[in-house]
Amino acid sequence: MCDDDDLMGQFLQEAGELLEALNESLISLESDSKDSDTLNTVFRAFHTIKGGAGFLELPSVSDLCHRSEDIFSKIRSGDRDFTSSDMDVFSSVLDYLGDSFEVLALDSSAKLQYPTALIKNLDDLNQAQIDNTCDDSESDEMELLFEQIKNSSGAEDYHKTKDDEYTDDEMEKLFDTLKTAPSLSNGGSSSNQSVSEQVSECSNQPSSKSTSKPKKAEQPTVRVDTAKMDGIVNLVGELVLNRNRLKKISAEIENTELIKGLSELNYITSELQSAVMKTRMQPVKRVFQRFPRMVRDVSRGLGKQVELVVIGEDTELDKNLVDALADPLIHMIRNSVDHGIEMPDDRSKAGKPVKGVVTLKATQVGDHVELTISDDGKGIDPAFMRTKCVEKGLISKEEADSISDADALQMIFLPGFSTADEVTDLSGRGVGMDVVKTSLEALNGYVSIDSTPGFGTVFTMKIPLTMAILQTLMVESLSQCYAIPLPSIVEIFVYKEEMINEVDGQHISRFRGGSIPIFYMSDLFPLSKSESSDSGKSLKIVVVSIGDKQAGLVVENVLGQEEVVIKPMGAFLGEMKGYAGATITGNGHVALILDVNKMVSLS
């Protein structure tokens, strides 16, 4: 075993990326085993992993990839097809490789268990009956090429055997002529191409009839350690804070030269910030490409037929957010396959296609990315949700009767909620959708649900492009400055006493033909000691929204917009609820960033 941890780290990073690509490519081959580009991708991936594993003395990985490579060599040459049974075996291969890479990431000197049974399965596939029948078009091309060789070289008149084939001696004589044969000008080949090159091309051409897609020119790339990138982002963040500070000072001094120099600094800082953020952006495909195989495996295990449709996989997010999305998406997609899509017989009775469809879509909307997971399954009945929540003791019968259908659906995110009657490997353990909600809120995002019984369910998630720098509205309450994330703000209007009513202890205000709950900052976040109260001042109401919920926040003063760098609260303040972090304002003071998710959930 090689002791070079850096070398092992590089191998695991590259091998991990290849493994993710293999998951997607193998699923694609199961439906189209003649796709030459995908076949070549799979072959090269196994070949590359084999080479690295051999160098690092990982025989179990190397042997497994070597046998896989042999099988795909035969598939590429047309000696066999890629079948669903093959996919079952290679699913186990990918699982073993993934588990092995995880073990090596924790301990590069770990000894991997040799996959004897899996090796035997691959050997059995490799020894399967091989169809030696060549593609007719390729045989015709070789036949024509031999005729051209004879005609162009003045070779003797060869005769075929009774089986209409050239004898071994004749074949040997034909290839001997390649050394002296002139270039050919017909047969669809370039006049400057030698016969030997034509024979080489024809003999090495895979049997797939699919047309190769033009490949994009690959741009040179550099691998950079994530910790180094985080360091650069932190430095840019400090630069942004100091720029904000200088802008405040400049406004007070009113010096023309200072204003001009600061304007240039502001432009350079913004461009640098944008460039650094782009280097951290990665397409969501990096996490999406693992799901087609997961859907295949889960649906087959349940006896269902499910197709996963992926849209917008080139949409980009901050790398840290892409990594953090994996677990929530796994929960939700498995939930759609397990609970959403019906069994084939039930779908037929309902007049639906036997194969269900789960759609995963990513779209950039402003400075956020919207992710939706939808299915054409049985949907969720709000009445059923109410009954289940009462049975599990999550809400009372009175509460269940009083909530709307939309709120009844949102109860799927309550901790401990599950519709499963039995505990299985997939569901019924009382964890899942509440974990999704908590995970997304930790990313300053949210998730909501919409469902129509009999037609399907749609989960919608919205998360920021990056968590490093945030556009905010600065407000003030009791002499304390707060930052509210700008994307969550709907409107700001002047507070009027006559607009506020109290219903069951909750302040309510009329807003755009409806009503919204009203919260006073001085009540929610009483951090500053003050004799004064909000009443009697020129107050403002900031309307914020998360999903389909809205609430009004009463503040003393609106200070304006400011781009801030999010800083963690630290261990001492980390448990404080209602805050998403802290930042340093342009005047050098500390401002707390409000967690709008938590505030709106109070309504």
User: pLDDT-derived band of residue 148, with 50, 70 and 90 as boundaries?
Assistant: low
Q: Which CATH number fits domain 284-464: 3.40.710.10, 3.30.565.10, 2.40.110.10, 3.30.2320.30?
A: 3.30.565.10
- Please provide the CATH number assigned to the domain covering 5-126: 1.20.120.160
Which pair of tokens denotes residue 120? Answer: 């035997």
Q: What is the four-CA torsion angle of 407, 411, 413, 417, rounded to 10 degrees?
A: -170
**pLDDT on residue 155:** 47
Mean pLDDT of 21-30: 86
Which H or E element spans position 459? strand 456-464
Decide: 308 and 358 in contact? Cβ < 8 Å.
Answer: yes
Among residues 41, 63, 65, 57, the alpha carbon closest in space to that of 1 is found at 57
pLDDT at residue 279, as a whole number:
83
Mind giving me the DSSP string for 184-205?
P--TTS-TTS-HHHHHHHHHH-
pLDDT at residue 174, as a whole number: 53
Q: What's the pLDDT at 354?
A: 93
Query: Within the chain, how many helices (H) and strands (E) appear?
Result: 21, 18
State the CATH architecture for 226-282: Orthogonal Bundle (1.10)
For the chain, give every domain's residue range.
5-126, 148-204, 226-282, 284-464, 469-601
| Whether residue 208 has pLDDT greater than 90 | no
What per-residue confidence (pLDDT) applies to 485? 86
Q: What residues have CB less than 8 Å from 309, skipping those under 6 apart? A: 357, 358, 359, 360
Note the pLDDT of residue 130. 46
The arrangement of strands across the sheet holding 356-365 comes to 306-311, 356-365, 368-375, 456-464, 446-452
d(CA 169, CA 144): 19
Coil, helix or strand for 100? helix
Q: Kindly tell me if the per-residue pLDDT of 138 is higher than 50.
A: no
Using a pLDDT cut of 70, give the percent of the chain over it. Answer: 76
Query: Which CATH topology does 469-601 take?
Result: OB fold (Dihydrolipoamide Acetyltransferase, E2P) (2.40.50)
Instruction: Tell me the pLDDT tens digit for each residue of 537-569.
Output: 578 899 988 777 888 888 888 888 887 877 766
- How many alpha carbons fall within 13 Å on the CB side of residue 219? 3
- Checking if the pLDDT of 413 tops 80, the result is yes
Q: What angle do CA 109, 111, 116 make, to 5 degrees?
A: 155
pLDDT of 374: 94
Distances, alpha carbon 333 to alpha carbons 356, 357, 544, 572, in Å: 13, 11, 30, 37
Q: According to the model, what pLDDT value does residue 360 have?
A: 94
pLDDT at 603: 55
Question: pLDDT-based confidence at 536, cuts 50/70/90?
Answer: very low
* Reported confidence tier of residue 204, pLDDT bands at 50, 70, 90: very low
Bridge partners of residue 459, in order along the sequence? 373, 449
Question: Looking at residue 108, what is its pLDDT?
Answer: 84
CA contacts within 13 A on the Cβ side of 510: 5
DSSP for 554-572 reads EESEEEEEEEEE-B--HHH
Residue indicated by tokens 């909750």:
506
Q: Which residue has the higher pLDDT, 555 or 217?
A: 555
pLDDT confidence of 179, banded at 50, 70, 90?
A: very low
- The span from the CA of 332 to the CA of 255, in Å, is 56
In one letter, which amino acid is 479? S
Residue 201 reports pLDDT greater than 60: no
Tokens describing residue 257? 């030269």
Element (H or E) spanning 297, and its range? helix 291-302
Residue with tokens 């080489």: 200
368 - beta bridge partners? 365, 464
For tokens 């050919």, the residue is 184
pLDDT of residue 353: 93
**Residue 400: closest CA among 412, 385, 410, 414:** 385
The amino acid at residue 549 is K
| Mean pLDDT for the stretch of residues 65-84 | 86
Q: What contacts 250, CB < 8 A, 6 or more positions away? A: 258, 259, 262
User: Which of the 8 DSSP states describes residue 223?
Assistant: -
Task: Please name the residue that has the structure tokens 């051209």.
Answer: 148
Of 156, 150, 145, 151, nearest in space to 196 by CA? 145
- 139's enclosing H/E stretch is helix 136-153
Tell which wins on pLDDT, 59 or 487.
59
* pLDDT, position 572: 56
DSSP state of 336: I
Q: Name the residue with higher pLDDT: 465 or 268.
A: 268
Q: Name the residue among 216, 208, 176, 279 with its Cα closest to residue 29.
A: 208
Q: For residue 212, what pLDDT is reported? A: 45
How many other C-beta atoms can be found within 10 angstroms of the C-beta atom of residue 425?
A: 10
Convert 192-204 to b/e letters by CB count within 10 Å (16 or more is b): eeebeebbeeeee
Residue 151 confidence (pLDDT) above 80: no
Per-chain mean pLDDT for the chain: 77
Q: Can you list the alpha helix ranges (DSSP code H) found in 32-115?
A: 36-55, 59-77, 84-106
Task: Reply yes or no on whether the pLDDT at 165 is more than 90.
Answer: no
pLDDT above 50 (res 405)? yes
Using one digit for the tens of pLDDT, what is the confidence trace for 427-456? 543 446 888 888 888 787 888 899 999 899
- Residue 571's pLDDT is what? 57
User: Quick one: pLDDT band at residue 341, thresholds 50, 70, 90?
Assistant: very high
Q: For position 164, what pLDDT does the model report?
A: 47
Mean pLDDT to the nearest integer, 214-219: 54
Distance of CA 287 to CAs 16, 143, 192, 319, Å?
12, 48, 47, 10
DSSP single-letter state for residue 528: S
The per-residue pLDDT for 52 is 87
Structure token digits, residue 601: 């959930």
pLDDT at 377: 92
Instruction: Reply yes or no on whether the pLDDT at 216 is more than 80.
Output: no
Count other C-beta atoms under 10 Å from residue 280's C-beta: 22
pLDDT given at position 442: 78
Average pLDDT, integer, range 388-408: 86
Are the C-beta atoms of residues 233 and 468 closer than 8 Å to each other? yes
Residue 503, token pair as written in the block = 């219903």
Q: Output the CA–CA distances (angstroms, integers) from residue 352 to 271, 324, 450, in the order listed.
A: 52, 35, 20
* Whole-number pLDDT of residue 355: 93
pLDDT of res. 533: 46
- Helix (H, G, I), strand (E, B), or coil: what is residue 429? coil
Mean pLDDT comparison of 46-60, 127-141, 246-260, highest-scoring range:
46-60
